[in-house]
Amino acid sequence: SSWTPDAWPILISGDPTRSLNNSKHASKPCTPYPPSSVSGSSLLHAEAVDCSLSPPGTLLKFNCGKMAGGKKKKEVKKETGLGLSFKKDENFGEWYSEVVVHGEMIEYYDISGCYILRPWSMGIWEIMQVFFDAEIKKMKIKNCYFPLFVSSSVLEKEKDHIEGFAPEVAWVTKSGKSDLEIPIAIRPTSETVMYPYFSKWIRGHRDLPLKLNQWCNVVRWEFSNPTPFIRSREFLWQEGHTAFATKEEADEEVLQVLELYRRIYEEFLAIPVIKGKKSEMEKFAGGLYTTSVEVNKGHGRGVQGATSHCLGQNFAKMFEINFENEKGEKGMVWQNSWAYSTRTIGVMVMVHGDDKGLVLPPKVASVQVVVVPVPYKDADTQGILDACTATVETLSEAGIRAESDLRDNYSPGWKYSQWEMKGVPLRIEIGPKDLANNQVRCVRRDNGSKSDIKRDNLVEQVKTLLDNIQQSLLDAAKQKRDASVQVVKTWDEFKDALAQKKMILAPWCDEEEVEKDVKERTRGEMGAAKSLCSPLEQPELPEGTICFASGKPAKKWTYWGRSY
């Protein structure tokens, strides 16, 4: 039937874009939008239809003529499609918006900047959480939980700190219909929440070090253009807060934690990072210095992957966190704070995803292997299904996260596309020939290569494949990163590299006014360039090297670029 008002499309499963673009009626790509933007009248029409078995991308088309008693009977037709509407290299922003929804990572919520984390993404977060929690426990760091709310008087106690967060703080001002006498803030971070109690708990040197961590949510409200995982108003994270008797102890921990963050990215997410130190302009508000792991995702934009801050004694002074040492002398503690968040998941999507959808590194995939039966005509279908079940059991007993897809209402090809969209690292196919030859067909998600392996050494071969996929993803990401970094020494070279969407490594004089000037001179539609970090492992800086922006003597090499 024709695309007319008598055949309005009703979009199901929060998957509008893919459905429209794969429909024969589509004349041009459609911009993704959250399911809440589907019209209310359309949703009312859809309520009478059982959509529980509708696959992602299902388009229900109602011919809304008259039914009995003056109205025509509704005719329901299904059309499905699993492809993305946008290509990663052609329209990165729209591609990303699609892939996180179609890959079942998030669902849009009716409050801008807030997202539902679906089990597929929460599984990734939980795997990283298990690793990190075990590692910090080895460092004698203990978990705790502090309230979400903070009084305005406490929040405003550290002036420099709160000024850095003031635009992002959300306030509770009413209870029911009554105005609160004193507004209550929702934590954007927990320094001012926790440190009044540090001063209560720390009295002498025997109370040190105090090492706490909490897994929680935080809210940072005031910004435009929210991006799932990367820039959201509420997000999950861990935040560590520690206090020491000496600066040396604090400095040592800063780097220990930074190394754990590197391991999360490189060993689990297969993403190479740069460990570096932030400039004075970019450091944590109220801190002494900030270190970070920076990700170059390409397209000239860096992403701050995680941060480890030395707070010095600034907060100790404000909150009177004092102690008495072994000699009976009074002193202030040295403090650190450090955190990583669900932003890690978004970075992983950006770096590894492709035009088919997500690509998950095996170490963080909730499902590392999916087993799909491929029945054929009069073949032994039950035997194939039994082989799939046995394969999953064998892999699961060996510690491999495996599932079978035995749904009989979808074709094998449809299942392949869905699991590719979700990024499962390895697909195993079992058909009649595989059953007869006591083998399985393995298909890698990262490069699509296929191989047949005997069931006799299934576990060993699958483990080898998963290890190879993990390493291949890291190697490919390193290659892309290195290709997108350009070393420059002059302002003209800097401008050219920025126009080519490169991350830039340049000699810098380390002066705040020069950094401000670089920002001002590069403002444009793509946003201003800024310093990302100065790598901890500094390349050689020959004597006489001058700053690319000011012509003054250079003090260090620094990465520059635009950022999320």
**Residue pLDDT, tens place only, 170-226:** 999 999 999 999 999 999 999 999 999 999 999 999 999 999 999 999 999 867 789
| H-helix or E-strand spanning residue 316 | helix 314-319
- pLDDT of 137 over the 60 cut: yes
Q: Collapsing DSSP states into helix, strand and coil, what is residue 270?
A: coil
Q: Is 448 left (phi over 0), alpha (psi -120 to 50) or beta?
A: left
Q: What is d(CA 277, CA 387) in angstroms, rounded to the nearest whole number?
A: 53
Q: Measuring CA to CA, how many Å separate 95 from each of 30, 88, 118, 359?
A: 12, 5, 19, 14
Q: What is the pTM of this model?
A: 0.84
- pLDDT of 256 over the 80 cut: yes
DSSP category for residue 267: I
Structure tokens at 411: 């074709």
pLDDT of residue 160: 63
pLDDT of residue 453: 97
Percent of the chain scored above 90 by pLDDT? 77
Q: What is d(CA 561, CA 499) in angstroms, rounded to the nearest whole number?
A: 10
- pLDDT of 70 over the 50 cut: no
In whole numbers, what is the pLDDT of the chain averaged over residues? 87
* Residue count (the chain): 564
Domains of the chain, each with CATH number or no CATH: 5-108 (no CATH), 115-352 (3.30.930.10), 362-480 (3.40.50.800), 485-563 (3.30.110.30)
DSSP category for residue 264: I
pLDDT of residue 81: 52
Lowest mean pLDDT among 341-355, 382-396, 524-538: 524-538
pLDDT of residue 164: 65
Query: Where is pLDDT greater, at 66 or 302?
Result: 302
pLDDT of residue 325: 92
Q: Measuring CA to CA, how many Å separate 452 from each of 12, 41, 321, 431?
A: 38, 52, 64, 12
**Looking at residues 151-164, what average pLDDT do you find?**
73
- pLDDT of 48 over the 60 cut: no
Query: Where is pLDDT greater, at 165 or 216?
Result: 216
Lowest mean pLDDT among 2-11, 100-109, 319-328, 461-470: 2-11
Residue 161's pLDDT band (cuts 50, 70, 90): low
pLDDT of residue 62: 32
* Secondary structure (DSSP) of 1-68: --SSGGG-EEE-TT-HHHHHHHSTT--S------GGGS-HHHHHHHTTS--TTPPTT-EEEE----BT
147 preceded by cis ω (within 30°)? Answer: no
Lowest mean pLDDT among 36-50, 211-225, 293-307, 387-401: 36-50
Q: What is d(CA 334, CA 294) in angstroms, rounded to the nearest whole number?
A: 25
pLDDT of residue 462: 99
